[in-house]
Amino acid sequence: MLASRSPRRREILRQAGIPFVVRPMEVDETPCPGEAAGDYAMRIAREKAGAAVASPGEIVLAADTTVLIHGEILGKPLDAADARRMLRLLSGQRHTVLTGICLRSASRIVEDCAETSVWFAPLSSQEIEDYAASGEPMDKAGAYAIQGLASKFIQRIEGCYFNVMGLPVALVYRHLREM
């Protein structure tokens, strides 16, 4: 069972041939004061998995993705101005994408966190305006979609591409096999 509304997570699982049903969970995604980005992503995934009501024999999968740059956690932008602010921060910089995952069965809980480094090309003011105006950044951690219009801004990555999309599928699959 996937405890997420994310269409990207559904797409990743579907493409990998991992069967699932969707039962999204709502939790407060406000970072705690002084909370490290990895701890934050893991806590949100754990809370989503804990809130899910699973049928007997079901494994709950919950995840949370966040972006870290210069010590600042970038979640989903509040509005277009916030998206532009995030994109200016990312422009010409390396940042880290962290996805916390939590898998829960009746007898076991497995938690893990994937980390991917992403290098953004320098962006002009017009590129930032145009991308923010596209609407694509609005429901994405860090205000961009690596698989979408922002793909042209990515110079390179180090780590799992699917983690940047929102679900480190190989890591999830490895834990599912073990469960």
Catalytic, out of 28, 39, 64, 112 = 64
Q: Which amino acid is at 75?
A: G
Closest CA to 68 of 43, 45, 90: 90
Strands laid side by side in the 94-104 sheet: 72-74, 60-69, 94-104, 109-120, 154-158
- Distance in angstroms (rounded) separating the CA atoms of residues 65 and 81: 21
The C-alpha atoms of residue 102 and residue 46 are separated, in whole angstroms, by 6
Helical H segments across 20-111, by residue range: 37-51, 80-90
* Contact residues for 20 (Cβ-Cβ < 8 A; gap 6+): 1, 2, 10, 13, 61
Decide: 121 and 154 in contact? Cβ < 8 Å: yes
Q: Is position 28 annotated as part of the catalytic site?
A: no
Give the residue numbers marked as catalytic: 64
